[in-house]
Amino acid sequence: MPEAQRPSFGGRPVGDPHAHYFREKARLSDPRGTTRRIASYLGRRKPALVLVFLCALAATIVAILGTRLNGYTLDRFIKTGDQAGLLVICLVLLCMYALGALATYAQNRVMVRVAQRSSADLRRDLFASMQRLPLSYFDRHSSGDLMSRLTNNVDNINLMLAQGVVQLFAGAVTIVGMLVAMLLLSPLLTLIGVALVPLMVLGPRYLARKTQPSFAAQQRELGNLNGFIEEAISGQKTLALYGQERKAAEDFAAINARYVKSSGRAQGLSGIMGPINNSVNNLTYMVISVCGALFVIKGTGMTVGVVFSFLLYMRGFTRPINDILTLWSSVQSALAGAERVFEVMDTRPEADAPEARELDWTAGDIAIDDVVFAYEPGKPVLRGMSIHAEPGMTVAIVGPTGAGKTTIMNLLPRFYDFESGSISIDGEDIRGLTAGSLRARISIVLQDPFLFSASVRENIRYGRLSASDAEIEDAARKARAHEFIMQLPEGYETVLSDNGGNLSQGQRQLLSIARAIVADSSILVLDEATSSVDTRTEVLIQAALLELMKGKTCFVIAHRLSTIRKADRIVVIDSGTVVESGTHDSLMAAGGFYAGLYNSQFASGMPL
């Protein structure tokens, strides 16, 4: 449970450290709209659905006929002792049942394909829409929660589609068929039987309505749980180093307990459905039996065989109703899950301006003009930033942490949109360009390199998908990565795991540099990329990058003065604005902020 409020350093109360997991409120549902949307996925496969329908129809007809024939057999052949007739009817029944079995088999096989493929479509659409979401969305939502939606929720939908829809379908057909048969047999008994149906439906419906919020709560808690597990397992090493395993386990126990509680409530309530159905069924049979017996005694022309058949019909009628009603709980789960999935899909994607132009070539003239930007409204990070870089120029951006350097790098490729000011390439505002083409012209090497679980070769190829193997190896050599790649178990074909976990930080940086080299674009952005690489290697990379940077515009955020020294222009930033600008020599001569920074490098003799 959330910790009680404690006074903290700074005098402000400390809230629940896990509060952000519980931020979401219980959702209001729009079950009809959601159901229609899911149904539309199935609707893409109409011919198959028609086949399923026909098979279900066939199977139902067999079931109905078989049931009727049972009663008929009793009256016509057994009572009268007609052995020859009995033989014929038995053979007929056998053939019918065989056909029915075949129809059921075919129906199931086709339906499962429809359902699984529809689920696959949903998963694919979800993934695609995720790709188009703006970065700000990912900042606001924990990846564990998003993963929960992508996996658990989609799985629920899948389950419902794969198993639920078949039953719904077949069940619906059966119900109609049985009803018709019952009417033909005895309208009177049908009336009595049907009158009891509302009882069968009302109870569960009431129950379903009561359990809907529990299911939504359960899903929410599951998202929280997943988020926590995700974080704790990826941060395992750090937790171990601080001996925090026990505390993490305690926190986990709290979140787990919340999930168990909400889940228990949801499952428990929905479990009562079955017994309700069962007892209502029993009552129904009892009433029919008694009434039927009464009618037979009163001699209204009803025979024992008719009652018997009718009872069997009733069983056939109520069973699918029961099935559908018991399905309700998985339908609930699926709907709750579907809502969470559609929520992601309905989020406004990153969009290009309506008249956006494709950028195909650029000289690389970048002008950042008086840009104001805040990640969160009211907390500006850039307060009127202006930098100009001519084509082929190397601009080094220096400043204390949090001054806004990484932010500039985020704005250039339009990862975020800024409030005021403008950023132009070759004089054209980047907001008038398509994001995709803009990003293709900019190579980025991030502070925290991210690698995919693919081979080394593929990872480098991601810089430019059209690169040839020779170009990839050439880029690797330039990035001084070739040597260590060749020492890996399978060289270039070695598959990396979990964000390149089997490589060191420096090696990961080298790969991400190779990737940027392959990208071969006119604008290069390096965000402290080279600082995790030892300087012996860095010198070599510097040389290679210098080669590469010829004719390209390059923004470098680095702390290494050796890097900065060689830049064409140094821009010193503090608190979101430019403080100083010039070459190394001019700034040293000016004796300002930059000069102070440079001199502190020689602060001597203090062991750490």
Torsion sign, CA atoms 303, 307, 309, 310: positive
Shortest distance in whole angstroms from residue 517 CB to other proteins = 13
Applying CB under 8 A, the span of 189-197, 267-275, 546-554, 584-592 interacting with other proteins comes to 267-275
Applying CB under 8 A, the span of 170-178, 242-250, 361-369, 383-391 interacting with other proteins comes to 242-250
What is d(CA 568, CA 588) in angstroms, rounded to the nearest whole number? 14
Positions in 382-441 near other proteins (CB under 8 A): 398-402, 406, 413, 415, 435-436, 439-440
Q: Any contact of residue 444 with other proteins (CB under 8 A)?
A: yes
Binding map of other proteins across residues 360-379, x = CB under 8 A, - = no contact: ---------------x----
Shortest distance in whole angstroms from residue 92 CB to other proteins = 9
Please, where are the H alpha helices in 423-534?
435-440, 456-461, 469-478, 482-486, 505-519
Our CB check for other proteins shows the closer of 33 and 402 to be: 402
Question: CA 57 → CA 104, 161, 246, 485, 535, distances in Å?
Answer: 10, 19, 59, 62, 76
Do 185 and 309 form a contact (C-beta atoms < 8 A)? yes
Our CB check for other proteins shows the closer of 36 and 261 to be: 261
Torsion sign, CA atoms 458, 463, 464, 468: negative
Positions in 15-34 near other proteins (CB under 8 A): 15, 17-18, 20-21
What is d(CA 410, CA 444) in angstroms, rounded to the nearest whole number? 10
- Tokens 């220096």, residue located: 398
What is d(CA 539, CA 549) in angstroms, rounded to the nearest whole number? 15
Q: Any contact of residue 301 with other proteins (CB under 8 A)?
A: no
Our CB check for other proteins shows the closer of 282 and 586 to be: 282
| Among residues 35, 167, 256, 386, the one that binds other proteins under rule CB under 8 A | 256
Applying CB under 8 A, the span of 32-40, 176-184, 279-287, 421-429 interacting with other proteins comes to 279-287
Q: Any contact of residue 586 with other proteins (CB under 8 A)?
A: no
Our CB check for other proteins shows the closer of 393 and 519 to be: 519
Q: Any contact of residue 544 with other proteins (CB under 8 A)?
A: no
CB neighbours of 528 closer than 8 A, spacing ≥ 6? 447, 557, 558, 559
3-state class (DSSP) for residue 153: helix
CA 74 from centre of chain: 58
Our CB check for other proteins shows the closer of 118 and 190 to be: 118
Our CB check for other proteins shows the closer of 507 and 553 to be: 507
Positions in 148-167 near other proteins (CB under 8 A): 148, 150-152, 155, 158, 162
Our CB check for other proteins shows the closer of 427 and 607 to be: 607
Applying CB under 8 A, the span of 26-34, 194-202, 280-288, 545-553 interacting with other proteins comes to 280-288
| Among residues 562, 586, 589, 591, the one that binds other proteins under rule CB under 8 A | 562
Positions in 448-507 near other proteins (CB under 8 A): 448, 450-454, 462-463, 465, 484, 487-489, 497-499, 501-502, 504-507
Positions in 68-87 near other proteins (CB under 8 A): 70, 73-74, 77-79, 81, 83, 86-87
Q: Any contact of residue 561 with other proteins (CB under 8 A)?
A: yes
- Tokens 């079950």, residue located: 31
Query: DSSP of 55-100, one letter per residue?
Result: HHHHHHHHHHHHHHHHHHHIIIIITTT-HHHHHHHHHHHHHHHHHH
Applying CB under 8 A, the span of 193-201, 229-237, 355-363, 421-429 interacting with other proteins comes to 229-237
Binding map of other proteins across residues 118-137, x = CB under 8 A, - = no contact: -xx--xx--xx-xxx--x--
- Tokens 């007892």, residue located: 279
What is d(CA 222, CA 530) in angstroms, rounded to the nearest whole number? 40
Q: What is the CA radius of gyration of the chain?
A: 35
Q: Any contact of residue 300 with other proteins (CB under 8 A)?
A: no
Strands 569-574 and 577-582: antiparallel
Do 330 and 159 form a contact (C-beta atoms < 8 A)? yes
Our CB check for other proteins shows the closer of 470 and 608 to be: 608
| Among residues 169, 215, 259, 317, the one that binds other proteins under rule CB under 8 A | 259
Our CB check for other proteins shows the closer of 30 and 448 to be: 448
Our CB check for other proteins shows the closer of 34 and 309 to be: 309
Query: DSSP of 286-302, one letter per residue?
Result: HHHHHHHHHHHHHTSS-
Question: CA 331 → CA 223, 326, 334, 335, 343, distances in Å?
Answer: 19, 9, 5, 6, 18
17 DSSP assignment:
T
Shortest distance in whole angstroms from residue 246 CB to other proteins = 8
Shortest distance in whole angstroms from residue 28 CB to other proteins = 26
What is d(CA 255, CA 244) in angstroms, rounded to the nearest whole number? 17
Do 108 and 167 form a contact (C-beta atoms < 8 A)? no
**Residue 25: both structure tokens together:** 């409120």
